[in-house]
Amino acid sequence: MIPPISVAENYDQYFASRLYDRRYPRPNPSSLAIIIGEIDALGKRVLDVGCGNGRYAETLLARTDATIVACDISREAIDELTSRCFEHVASGRLCPLLGDPTVVADSIGRSEKFDLAIMVFGVLGHIYPRSLRRATLTTIHSLLRPGGRIVVTVPNAARRFSRQQASSQSLVEQGHLEAGDILYERTAHDRAVKMYYHLYSLQEFEQELEQQGFRLIRLTAESILPESGIVRSRLLRAIDRFLARILPLRHAYGFLAVAEAVSESKQGEDLPQPSDFSQPA
């Protein structure tokens, strides 16, 4: 299927306008803590898929001993990441690559596997169509060592873009979009940046990971409040942490999963059920 918009071109505009940095000046603290915990437990070789201009990579380089291969389809983002983290690029701790995970697979040796892949802030939902999302997860799976994990987040369809879901329905019926897809806009300097998103139900998110060979380890809220607020306000972060402790997972603004890459020989084994996780669905 032909993408309804050019995601790479529009993200180039998004980063160049500085709107992205104004909305999301730093990582989500709860997501960052989970990622750092996984690095400490698994190892320091990290793949950052959809890295943008380095909101997470730059912080991880400063706070851990990780070495990071970071890829993004936006040239504007990769150029900015390379410039901002030039010392880490020069030392070999950071390798920025323009493209999707298939570029990573073509750029590293077959024996070079990652301990951890991160794909946060809804990157998976910006991939069109569903077949390419699944292929991307399959490629990431192949890049992880046995027992390696992915930390991945997606937007919750029950909490996001209700008006756009309604307005996109005709495009779904016409076959231009798939069920769960929307088109929306961000405005930067009086210019509309057109965006694509696939919004997930909790069940779809679990199934998509499991069908591509991942075993769910943890399923929690990326946040309850919009991330643009919690990354800029200490008060909103505190409120968000409290809400995440008391509200069922279905109220999440976005879902966060930690999942292990399962070898083909083990993919038939029983997978954990939603009741096994720390928060109710």
> When comparing pLDDT for 233 and 12, which is higher?
233
**Per-residue pLDDT tens digits for 105-149:** 888 877 789 999 999 989 999 999 999 999 999 999 999 999 999
Helices (H), 85-199: 86-91, 101-107, 130-143, 162-173
Residue 281 lies in a domain: no
Q: How far apart are CA 22 and CA 156, in angstroms?
A: 23
Please, which residues have CB within 8 angstroms of residue 104's CB and are 6 or more apart in sequence? 47, 69, 71, 97, 139, 143
**Per-residue pLDDT tens digits for 20-56:** 777 888 899 999 999 999 999 999 999 999 999 999 9
Residue 99 lies in a domain: yes
Q: How many helices (H) and strands (E) does the chain have?
A: 12, 9
Residue 255 lies in a domain: yes
* Domain assignment of residue 62, given as a range: 7-260
Residue 280 lies in a domain: no
Which residues on adjacent β-strands are paired with residue 47?
69, 117
Domain total of the chain: 1
Residue 34 lies in a domain: yes
Residue 66 lies in a domain: yes
pLDDT value for 28: 94
**Per-residue pLDDT tens digits for 181-211:** 999 888 866 677 888 999 999 999 999 999 9
Residue 61 lies in a domain: yes
Q: What is the pTM of this model?
A: 0.90
Residue 266 lies in a domain: no
Residue 73, token pair as written in the block: 């389809």
Q: At 137, which CATH number? A: 3.40.50.150
